[in-house]
């Protein structure tokens, strides 16, 4: 046998390896194949190929492994148990950039599933290697490394702290300043993942000077980048007043509001979240947002969007209104209540209705003026309906009840209270009747109207336990009217009359 024939065997083998690994990588990109691949024992076949002498085969094997690990956590666990990670980490420092990218992809895919898997990635020393990759010249490698770091950090505070301790934050901040959009996007998302756990972590990110660079990118035309930027800013500002003030000091304010009109839904949602996180801290910050016209913009945004995207806007209105009556008035003046009423009737989902109910409660609890604004929007019957609905969740029930209570205790707008007399349960009725008992003794017109609209009759039909607050209120109302009228409207009066007719003996 000639030498060539011998060598041909080797060549064939190499070709076959290449082809095998490429095909596996391609097959692994479709989820429906993965089950079959795994059953065929692909993991144990790919592992030696990671050590192959041909770099292309190594890279493609890493890619295939990454795709497999990406699929579900069982496969990711198989990668961890197969002792593949230390080797990948080792080669992250050694190999060329293509291999680094693929290896970082595998680490990302493994770390994505659960905190335990991410911890195992950290345990094999991946963080240092990934941080070194962030210093690489190639943007693709940086991107892959930032992505993996973000996925590791997103699980819990400990992992995020580990990422911070590895010194990733300054490099991620540098990555934001790179010209490549995708790199910026991923670095911003990684920063957001790091900040979200605790004030200390957020402070670390702020200390690295991230806010100024993030604030610069607010007006970037790329929607996906904006999503991540706003998410990062809101994660920073959610922790404490100081952090929120630092975000505000980056002069984001009038500029952010334009993004509420962005065509992309997630951008809108993240912007609203950012505004909410800032507004919730102090009255001063809320006032700043109100003065910048933020409430009007948010109200418009609630009107424009549907479903879950509305939620942060609704909560923002609630937070702003909760701070002081002045701010609540600002919300009312910006037509927030009307928009909330629309949202309450449009949204079928319970958690959104609960949020709207909460926000309305915060608006109406300050003064009669406020609660009148809420009552005029015809919200109270809807809230009552939310409370009484059979399929309402417990959260919705408690929220709508508290909201009703807050509003009713301040409300002196009697026409809005009338309908509640007819179908409110006793625990709500108590507050309604209480309001009537406060207003009627001092208002003759209202007394008259109360009789003609049938309210008095309804009051007489209430069976209040003697000695309870409700009975006292009913008594107070009855005292406002002459006795005959009260009797006339009490149930069973006709029987009493008939009895009198029977007992009456005609004279002569």
291 binds another protein (CB under 8 A): yes
Which of 188, 88, 175, 194 has the alpha carbon at shortest distance from 137?
175
CB atoms within 10 A of CB 464: 18
Which one of 114-122, 292-300, 445-453, 488-496 is the stretch in contact with another protein (CB under 8 A)? 292-300
Measured CA distances, 170 to 187, 239, 405, 450, 453 (Å) = 11, 20, 50, 70, 70
334 binds another protein (CB under 8 A): yes
Q: What is the DSSP string of 426-456?
A: HHHHHHHHHHHHHHGGG-HHHHHHHHHTTHH
Using the minimum distance from each CB to another protein, give the nearer residue, 40 or 333: 333
Which one of 96-104, 272-280, 338-346, 488-496 is the stretch in contact with another protein (CB under 8 A)? 96-104
Do 436 and 417 form a contact (C-beta atoms < 8 A)? yes
Q: How far is the CB of 87 from another protein (least distance, A)?
A: 16
491 binds another protein (CB under 8 A): no
Binds another protein by CB under 8 A, chosen from 36, 116, 177, 326:
326
CA distance 470 to 437: 10
63 binds another protein (CB under 8 A): yes
Q: How far is the CB of 409 from another protein (least distance, A)?
A: 21
420 binds another protein (CB under 8 A): no
317 binds another protein (CB under 8 A): no
CA distance 302 to 299: 5
CA distance 432 to 426: 10
Please state at what angle helix 223-237 crosses helix 241-249, rounded to 10 degrees. Answer: 140
Using DSSP's 3-state secondary structure scheme, residue 419 falls into helix
Question: What's phi and psi for 393, nearest 5 deg?
Answer: -75, 165
202 binds another protein (CB under 8 A): no
Do 286 and 271 form a contact (C-beta atoms < 8 A)? no
Binds another protein by CB under 8 A, chosen from 181, 250, 296, 309:
296
Q: How far is the CB of 139 from another protein (least distance, A)?
A: 9
Q: How far is the CB of 261 from another protein (least distance, A)?
A: 4
Residue whose structure tokens are 């609905």? 389
CA distance 191 to 176: 10
Binds another protein by CB under 8 A, chosen from 47, 97, 402, 458:
97
Tell me 465's DSSP state.
P
Do 292 and 336 form a contact (C-beta atoms < 8 A)? no
Using the minimum distance from each CB to another protein, give the nearer residue, 60 or 234: 60
Binds another protein by CB under 8 A, chosen from 17, 20, 24, 25:
25
Which of 134, 144, 74, 137 has the alpha carbon at shortest distance from 103?
144
**Of residues 41-60, those binding another protein (CB under 8 A):** 56, 59-60
Which one of 68-76, 97-105, 126-134, 239-247 is the stretch in contact with another protein (CB under 8 A)? 97-105
Tell me the per-residue interface mask from 218 to 257 with another protein, x by CB under 8 A, - otherwise.
Answer: ---------------------------------------x
The count of residues interacting with another protein (CB under 8 A) is: 32
Using the minimum distance from each CB to another protein, give the nearer residue, 258 or 378: 258
Q: How far is the CB of 262 from another protein (least distance, A)?
A: 8
CA distance 68 to 83: 15
Q: Which residues contact 57 (CB under 8 A, 6 or more apart)?
A: 14, 17, 18, 21, 49
Binds another protein by CB under 8 A, chosen from 41, 179, 263, 467:
263
143 binds another protein (CB under 8 A): no
Q: Which residues contact 297 (CB under 8 A, 6 or more apart)?
A: 257, 260
Binds another protein by CB under 8 A, chosen from 106, 146, 260, 289:
260
Binds another protein by CB under 8 A, chosen from 262, 277, 347, 350:
262
Binds another protein by CB under 8 A, chosen from 85, 159, 290, 377:
290
Which one of 226-234, 329-337, 345-353, 402-410 is the stretch in contact with another protein (CB under 8 A)? 329-337
* Residue 259 tokens, joined: 């993004």
300 binds another protein (CB under 8 A): yes
Do 431 and 407 form a contact (C-beta atoms < 8 A)? no
Using the minimum distance from each CB to another protein, give the nearer residue, 182 or 490: 182
Tell me the per-residue interface mask from 102 to 131 with another protein, x by CB under 8 A, - otherwise.
Answer: x-----------------------------
Which of 456, 387, 449 has the alpha carbon at shortest distance from 421?
456
Site residues, another protein (CB under 8 A): 22, 25, 56, 59-60, 63, 97-98, 101-102, 138, 140, 257-258, 260-263, 290-297, 300, 326, 329-330, 333-334
């Amino acid at each position: 046998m000639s030498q060539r024939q011998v060598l041909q065997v080797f060549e064939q083998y190499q070709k076959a390896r290449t082809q095998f690994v490429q095909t596996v990588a391609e097959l692994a990109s479709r989820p429906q194949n993965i089950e079959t691949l795994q059953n065929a024992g692909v993991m144990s076949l790919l592992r030696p190929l990671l050590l192959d002498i041909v770099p292309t085969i190594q890279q493609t094997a890493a890619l295939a492994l990454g795709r497999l690990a990406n699929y579900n956590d069982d496969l990711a666990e198989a990668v961890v148990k197969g002792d593949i990670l230390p080797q990948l980490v080792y080669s992250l420092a050694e190999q060329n950039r293509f291999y680094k990218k693929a290896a970082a992809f595998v680490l990302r895919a493994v770390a994505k599933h659960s905190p335990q898997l991410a911890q195992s990635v950290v345990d094999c020393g991946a963080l240092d290697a990934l941080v070194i990759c962030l210093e690489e010249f190639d943007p693709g490698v940086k991107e892959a490394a930032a992505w993996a770091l973000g996925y590791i950090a997103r699980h819990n505070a400990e992992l995020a702290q580990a990422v911070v301790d590895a010194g990733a934050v300054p490099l991620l901040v540098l990555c934001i300043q790179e010209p490549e959009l995708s790199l910026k996007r991923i670095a911003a998302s990684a920063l957001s993942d790091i900040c979200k756990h605790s004030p200390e972590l957020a402070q670390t990110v702020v200390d690295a000077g991230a806010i100024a660079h993030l604030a610069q990118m607010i007006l970037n035309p790329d929607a996906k980048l904006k999503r991540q930027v706003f998410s990062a800013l809101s994660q920073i500002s959610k922790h404490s007043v100081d952090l929120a003030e630092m975000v505000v000091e980056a002069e984001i304010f009038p500029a952010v509001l334009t993004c509420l009109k962005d065509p992309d839904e997630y951008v809108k949602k993240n912007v609203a979240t950012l505004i909410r996180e800032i507004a919730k801290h102090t009255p001063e910050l809320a006032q700043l947002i109100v003065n910048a016209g933020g409430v009007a913009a948010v109200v418009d945004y609630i009107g424009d969007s549907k479903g879950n995207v509305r939620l942060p806007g609704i909560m923002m209105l609630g937070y702003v209104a909760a701070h002081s009556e002045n701010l609540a008035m600002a919300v009312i003046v910006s037509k927030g209540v009307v928009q909330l009423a629309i949202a309450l009737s449009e949204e079928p989902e319970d958690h959104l209705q609960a949020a709207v109910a909460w926000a309305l409660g915060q608006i109406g609890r300050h003064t009669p003026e406020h609660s009148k604004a809420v009552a005029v929007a015809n919200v109270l019957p809807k809230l009552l309906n939310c409370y009484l609905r059979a399929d309402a969740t417990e959260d919705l029930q408690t929220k709508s009840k508290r909201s009703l209570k807050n509003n009713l205790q301040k409300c002196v707008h009697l026409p809005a209270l009338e309908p509640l007399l007819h179908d409110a349960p006793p625990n709500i009725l108590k507050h309604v009747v209480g309001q009537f008992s406060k207003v009627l003794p001092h208002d003759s017109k209202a007394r008259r109207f109360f009789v003609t609209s049938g309210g008095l009759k309804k009051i007489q039909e209430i069976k209040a336990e003697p000695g309870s607050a409700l009975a006292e209120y009913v008594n107070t109302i009855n005292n406002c009217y002459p006795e005959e009228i009260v009797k006339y409207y009490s149930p069973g009066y006709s029987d009493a009359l008939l009895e009198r007719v029977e007992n009456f003996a005609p004279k002569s």
